[in-house]
Structure 1
């Protein structure tokens, strides 16, 4: 049976299971509103989630207890991901308990109000930050160090083609994947954070300036931002970086990418800062500050900024995710962070050739998912924290 036919049969079975779930729920509960108003897409989602969970559990049980070691090693990354997820969940729970017991009264109250998802997100962000800062001490090898052992199988078992010195294996030119993942946190996350900071400094200052001065300053800046936002961000970045590559190379091109991405993303920050600032500048305390003779810098940074912190912090998290993903996309296309720096987007590109070995070496065919998983995990973690911050700043209650 072909793969396409198997996929279609599985899809039809899941759809039938979703319909049966909704129908059974309506009959058993006496047509309760939860099942009566349930859309088929929702029921299909429940069935699909259950099917994926069953598949994951069965695959894990096979890899751990049923299959021989040589065959089970092809699920090395999958088993590692399951262990990592369980470990992170337990650590997030313990981290929240620790925060409730240790710290100031304000921090303990914050942890008492924090859901487990936000605790998970904060913990992941702290761990990424730790790896980014101490990458040079944590990585077992250099990010550009090349060894003679290329395409080493993950797992570290010499009998299966692994090497204890390279627990996640090596890429096609002999670089240690674990070391490059750790250095990728320093380069990808660090550069994305610096880019976002520059974007907020530029866009936020100009947005508050436009909201405060209005008139021709507001009109000029707003129309310039409209022109920049009319061009798709990724295409605009590719165009500008391609032009910049004619003058600068290597590290200089990375710096140019940071400045270009900061400029492009500052337009989004400008829009938010201007909209928030427009609502603040009409307040009585702003008029009182003007009557006292306070200068523009005082009004912007001492009066407007403190009252715009909540939406700006939430936007910072979202904007960081967009910048982070865009930089990874540019690196995947070959115009982002330049070698010899390790970058997750470049790692996905470099290791994509491993997919061709799925037929006879499944344990290395999923190597590109390591860097992609690191990108996805941080994105989900930041969004968990941003959702919690938006929930708190909106004043909503559970």
Structure 2
């Protein structure tokens, strides 16, 4: 079964979208395409397939790019979904590199080992893999993806675990001055270490892991998908959420959502079961019902974050505080002291396990992991080249 991807899960893309308002540096010019060098350090012998899928920013059309960066619009789809054209690009063999060109897209770069991925088309657009569904055609394929936006303001390229933790990779960009920055590499033993940590965590966290019938570990689903599929109990965060609601019945929660605007603060108190926030004048500007686990892990539903100037920024901050379990230790949010993250027994253990094993500590383990700049993202306003490095599964 294929399911259309939902924007609620694309925290990294949401971040990129928010950054699109930034203007390019004076004198900078971003070409129509830039090179992306894909290096296969996985040590795996299977064929590698690469896909560059997204929205062409100049026209808003959905489609794919070939190895030369040329855009191809998707044909019309159907109901049920019709198979999408084969958009795969042959990837490099183990120990080798391949350079392709990426256009001004907002989309994803998929890669898969051993088998091509299957995509579908409906009247509404592209249908992407949804391996939380047992019948998904891509369920037994080892694959992953990166998200990026390249536009006139530069390149944003991430390493994401918002939907799942799977085949490891890192991303990088060469800046205009010739220097290179990267993120996404795991510590030695970090890949298997994440799965070991989940297996050792009581309460259903081991059920997030998906394996093939031959025993190959394919991925760990995000806890949102775990809750939605019943792999993780829907009550998994209830104890922590209840304690937060109790604390802020008598204590004020202060949210300062913009790091560059320290004077913009909102104060929250629970009254009548609702966490209400007031602005400097004392007017109520946002209210939140007590969230369930799906709302916290997905940063949506009862923690919806519209693209506005008040509710969305407050919700993003709350989402980060719940996932990192910092709301009880610090009444001033966001708490950006990483030593405080994931310390409660009730927390997002998926995010905890991933962050602890990243070489630089950065990850996109939930939708708004960029709060406090904890995300695995590279950006440059005048990129010379991008990099995608596939790492060993060890």
Do Structure 1 and Structure 2 share a fold, with TM-score over 0.5? Answer: no
Higher helix share: 1
Instruction: Indicate the structure whose relative CO is greater, using CA pairs within 8 Å and at least 6 residues apart.
Output: 2
Higher Cα radius of gyration: 1
**TM-score (norm. length: structure 1):** 0.27
**TM-score (norm. length: structure 2):** 0.27
Higher strand share: 2
